[in-house]
Amino acid sequence: MGRTILHVDCNCFYASVELLHHPELRGKPVAVGGDPEARHGIVLTASYEAKHRGVKTGMALWQAKQACPEVIFLPPRMDLYLRFSRMANEIYAQYTDLVEPFGIDENWLDVTASAGIKGDGMTVAREISDRVKRELGITVSIGVSFNKILAKLGSDYKKPDAITGMREWEFREKAWPLPASDLLYVGRSTTAKLYKLGILTIGDLANAPEELLHAHLGKMGSILWVFANGYDDSPVKAENVHAPIKSIGNSTTTPRDLENDQDVKIVLYLLAESVGRRLRENGFRCRVVEVSVRDNELYCFTRQHKLDYATNATGEIAEEAYRIFLENYDWTKPIRSVGVRGSDLVNDNYWEQLDLFSSVERRERLRKMDAALDDIRRRFGFFAVQRGLMHCDKGLAGLDAREEHTVHPHGYFG
């Protein structure tokens, strides 16, 4: 019996969620991203009304404004989008425990084992589509296939609010006439190389000699040949292991140049407060801490270190970030900006073996302290409670790091 794989893609996800909270903007061109007041940053997602007027994901806000003067910009609210992502995953989990995220708004589902109970792939897809629309108020496009690559191609085939089959007996008819650039991991550079070889469509790619592709594209050429021919058999990974995003991070340009270790420590702790709280709010822990530094002549570098144990404790993140900084900066020049990121994320129920020398009691105290601080700050604001370190420099301690953060999605080979 063959596999039944779905790829569920939430349509214009950020914009769709925002329109639920701004019903007065429905039918108008809306773009989410950047800083609407300062007019800098890029478009993360645009509504279909904005897309039809030329607004594209990745555009600078000023470019989007040129393409569509009436576009309405909204600032991103990642915590809100993560909450909707979790609610969508709760729906998917009622059909299978094999749910693999490909970013915050996309998931693969292996529903092979539930066919006898829930029906075939198309039936399950229609039910999921109806439930997401009814329960969450947003729409999804779903691809139904026998492998992950073609299922994703199916979800991209027709949008919004569509279900497309890419099964064994139909994928050649539907997929092969499409441009090669529609295939996962065929970007602009690869498209140009394929064009020089006379390969324009997915069908051309499938029918090209694998040796030719490997000679010009290396290992990726063979991988793309496998994708185009429908030979990919990679499994859908079980849910509740990996987070739907790769990392959560914060960075800030400080109100004055940082001139000593204590200055940096203050800012790192502020940033770690925000990173740790976001991890906890969204049920994640990080296994890697990363620090980025830019000096006042704009030279920058990034360093990271893998932790012994996954954590979302503010103190552990801050201590590790400060240790990384001390090992890697010699104070040749003052510092203009600093960033902290937690990456290699896992869900909160991820288990790991502790060693004999780790202090479970200390980590439990940190967990309870962070939970208490989170509760106080939710009720009375971020500055209601501060660490003693912050009183060393009220100017630096006044930064509200929580207002700036970034998230990074998963890659297919991650």
Report the distance separating Cα 5 and Cα 14, nearest Å: 25
User: Rounded to whole angstroms, what are the CA distances from 124 to 12, 92, 110, 129?
Assistant: 22, 10, 11, 9
Say whether pTM exceeds 0.75.
Answer: no
- Does residue 208 lie in a domain region? yes
The answer on 368 and 268 residing in a single domain is: yes
The answer on 402 and 283 residing in a single domain is: yes
Report the distance separating Cα 145 and Cα 168, nearest Å: 7
CATH number of 58's domain? 3.40.1170.60
Report the distance separating Cα 70 and Cα 64, nearest Å: 10
- Does residue 364 lie in a domain region? yes
Report the distance separating Cα 316 and Cα 250, nearest Å: 16
Residue count of the chain, please give it.
414
- Does residue 346 lie in a domain region? yes
Coil, strand or helix at 274: helix
| Residue 37 is a catalytic residue | no
- Does residue 108 lie in a domain region? no
DSSP, res 189:
H
Report the distance separating Cα 295 and Cα 333, nearest Å: 6
Cβ atoms of 262 and 251 closer than 8 Å = no
The answer on 289 and 220 residing in a single domain is: no
One DSSP character per residue, 56-75 reads -TT-BHHHHHHH-TT-EEE-
Query: Choosing from 18, 106, 239, 316, which is the catalytic residue?
Result: 106
Coil, strand or helix at 312: coil
One DSSP character per residue, 120-171 reads SHHHHHHHHHHHHHHHHS--EEEEEESSHHHHHHHHHHS-SS-EEEE-TTTH
Structurally, the chain folds into a number of domains equal to 3
Longest dimension (CA), the chain: 69
CATH number of 276's domain? 3.30.1490.100
The answer on 190 and 218 residing in a single domain is: yes
Flag residues of the chain having pLDDT under 50: none
The answer on 192 and 59 residing in a single domain is: no
- Does residue 64 lie in a domain region? yes
pLDDT at 379 (0 to 100): 85
Domain that holds residue 192: 176-229
- Does residue 283 lie in a domain region? yes
The answer on 220 and 254 residing in a single domain is: no
- Does residue 368 lie in a domain region? yes
Strand order in the sheet with 45-46: 45-46, 30-32, 72-74
